């Protein structure tokens, strides 16, 4: 070996090491572990602005679900940017504030907008607000999102309650030192989506005349939409819908003992199922069309949740 070859070999090894580390850091190592104190400080900063209001039900509003806000009474709005440690969304059309208030007698904490992994936030940051909502007093969380339909039983404009998820394509928020104050090291996920609450949501949907389907949601990181091959893979794995959020939040919510009910708005058929390209604007426009139905459903469902 001459000197030049050795140098090249070393360079190649360093490059390979960097690539491997990058891949590993995505699935295993944590870049900025958020400890319990940070979560508690964040919750306390919100509490200070709330005047003894204790929310019982949390709602995370994804794209298409924003109109729910209009049904909330006695609103107090706190912008994410005014809360220490809170990540702030960078995506057009995604909002960023907590709204506290009530629908009938149910005290609510609503997240109008969330941040996503694809914005570059760590999974710790993505799930911080979920943990904060628990510390504020919430017992139940309703998560909503926009998703692409993979199942042949879904069409654009459908609503789908989640009855299970596939999390293996997104980082798990519980990797790293367990936060014992929040929950156990190995939380059970056999029934992540509360069966009773999901049944109650379905019954409410029927009463409102809004068809609600059920299925399995897979979270990928985005931001690129999936390829047709990835959609075929997801279908063969049992996914009915795909999106870029929610599952990390559900895992964090179950870890800290929140009851979960979740719902997707199917804004489009997944990539490769129709002879056209996907774009963010169309996804948002479909959201806007169906939003009155969604708010009617949530407005009828929330008062049924016991404080
Ligand atoms: N894929 C991923 N996320 C999405 C989609 C999709 O097709 N539609 C809305 N969010």
The answer, yes or no, to whether residue 306 has pLDDT greater than 80, is no
What is the model's pLDDT at position 184?
97
Distance 270 CA to ligand 1 centre (A): 7
CB 133 within 8 A of CB 141: yes
CA 28 to chain centre: 20
Q: pLDDT exceeding 90 applies to what percent of the chain?
A: 73
> Distance between CA 44 and CA 156 in Å, rounded?
41
Alpha-carbon span 202 to 210, nearest angstrom: 9
Binning pLDDT at 50, 70 and 90, where does residue 307 land? Answer: low
Report pLDDT digits (tens) over 75-130. 999 999 999 999 987 766 557 999 999 999 999 999 999 999 999 999 999 999 99
Based on the number of CB atoms within 10 Å of its own CB, is 26 exposed (0-12), middle (13-18) or buried (19 or more)?
middle
Q: Looking at per-residue confidence, does 276 or 44 come out higher? A: 44
- Closest C-alpha residue for ligand 1 atom 7: 148
Residue nearest atom 2 in ligand 1 by C-alpha distance: 243
pLDDT band at residue 280 under the 50/70/90 scheme: confident
pLDDT of res. 281: 79
Candidate of 267, 273, 284, 288 to mutate for ligand 1, largest count of ligand atoms within 8 Å of Cβ: 267
Pocket lined around ligand 1, Cβ cut-off 6 Å: 146-148, 225-226, 242-244, 267-268, 270, 278, 283
CB 269 within 8 Å of CB 137: no
Token readout for 144 is 């909503």
Give the residue numbers marked as catalytic.
63, 94, 116, 118-119, 146, 244-245, 268, 280
Q: What is the pTM of this model?
A: 0.88
- Cα of 287 from ligand 1 centre, angstroms: 12
Select the highest-mean-pLDDT range: 83-97, 167-181, 290-304.
Answer: 167-181
- CA-CA distance, 254 to 30, in Å (whole number)? 20
SS3 state of residue 102: strand
Choose between 251 and 4: higher pLDDT.
251
- Helix (H) / strand (E) containing 159: strand 159-166
If you average pLDDT over every residue of the chain, what do you get? 89
Ligand 1 atom closest to 145 (CA): 10
Instruction: Give the Å distance between the CA of 263 and the centre of ligand 1.
Output: 14
Among the atoms of ligand 1, which is closest to the Cα of residue 220? 2
Q: Which atom of ligand 1 is nearest to the CA of 268?
A: 8
In the block, tokens 């774009």 appear at 279
The string of pLDDT tens digits covering residues 144-159 is 999 999 999 999 999 9
Q: Which residues contact 200 (CB under 8 A, 6 or more apart)?
A: 301, 304
- Listed in sequence order, the residues at least 6 apart from 259 whose beta carbon sits closer than 8 Å to its beta carbon are 139, 140, 141, 194, 197
Check whether 176 has a pLDDT greater than 70: yes
- Return the residue whose CA atom lies nearest to atom 5 of ligand 1: 148
**Average of per-residue pLDDT across 201-205:** 97
3-state helix, strand, coil in the chain (%, to 5): 40, 20, 40
Please tell me the residue having the least CA distance from ligand 1 atom 10. 147
Q: Is pLDDT of 261 > 90?
A: yes
Quick one: pLDDT at residue 243? 97
Task: Report CA(135)–ligand 1 centroid distance (Å).
Answer: 31
* pLDDT over 50 (residue 29): no
Distance from the CA of 230 to the center of ligand 1, in angstroms? 12
Q: How far apart are CA 31 and CA 26, in angstroms?
A: 9
Q: Are 245 and 165 within 8 A, CB to CB?
A: no
pLDDT at 105: 92
* Per-residue pLDDT tens over the stretch 6-25: 777 777 776 676 566 555 55
- What tokens does 224 get? 């690129």
Interval 258-287 mean pLDDT:
87
Distance CA 294, CA 288 (A): 10
Q: What angle do CA 75, 200, 300 make, to 5 degrees?
A: 35
Pairing of strands 57-61, 106-112: parallel
Q: Which of 19-23, 155-159, 165-169, 269-273 has the lowest mean pLDDT?
A: 19-23
Between the alpha carbon of residue 175 and those of residues 22, 121, 243, the distances in Å are 16, 15, 21
Six token digits for residue 108: 């609510």
Per-residue pLDDT of 46-58, as tens digits, reads 999 998 999 999 9
Q: What spacing in Å lies between the alpha carbon of 220 and ligand 1's midpoint?
A: 9
Instruction: Give the whole-angstrom CA distance, residue 232 versus residue 267.
Output: 18
Q: Select from 114, 160, 165, 225 the residue to mutate for testing ligand 1; criterion: most ligand atoms less than 8 Å from CB.
A: 225
């Amino acid at each position: 070996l001459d000197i030049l070859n050795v140098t090249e070999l070393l360079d190649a090894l360093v490059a390979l090491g960097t690539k491997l580390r990058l891949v590993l850091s995505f699935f295993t190592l944590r870049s900025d572990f958020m400890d319990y104190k940070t979560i508690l400080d964040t919750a306390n900063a919100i509490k200070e602005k709330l005047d003894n209001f204790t929310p019982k039900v949390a709602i995370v509003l994804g794209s298409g679900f924003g109109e729910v806000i209009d049904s909330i009474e006695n609103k107090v709005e706190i912008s994410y940017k005014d809360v220490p440690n809170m990540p702030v969304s960078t995506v057009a059309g995604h909002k960023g504030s907590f709204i506290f208030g009530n629908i009938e007698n149910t005290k609510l904490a609503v997240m109008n907008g969330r941040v996503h992994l694809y914005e570059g936030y760590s999974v710790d940051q993505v799930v911080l607000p979920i943990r904060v909502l628990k510390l504020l007093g919430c017992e139940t969380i309703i998560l909503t999102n926009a998703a692409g339909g993979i199942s042949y039983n879904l069409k654009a404009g459908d609503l789908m309650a989640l009855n299970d998820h596939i999390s293996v394509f997104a980082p798990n928020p519980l990797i790293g030192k367990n936060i014992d104050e929040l929950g156990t090291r190995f939380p059970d996920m056999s029934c992540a989506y509360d069966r009773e609450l999901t049944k109650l949501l379905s019954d409410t949907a029927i009463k409102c005349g809004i068809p609600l389907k059920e299925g399995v949601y897979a979270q990928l990181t985005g931001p690129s939409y999936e390829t047709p091959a990835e959609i075929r893979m997801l279908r063969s794995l049992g996914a009915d819908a795909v999106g870029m959020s929610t599952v990390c939040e559900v895992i964090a919510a179950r870890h800290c003992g929140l009851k979960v009910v979740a719902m997707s708005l199917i804004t489009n058929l997944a990539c490769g199922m129709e002879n056209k390209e996907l774009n963010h604007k169309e996804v948002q426009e479909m959201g806007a069309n169906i939003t009155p139905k969604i708010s009617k459903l949530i407005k009828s469902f929330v008062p049924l949740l016991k404080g």
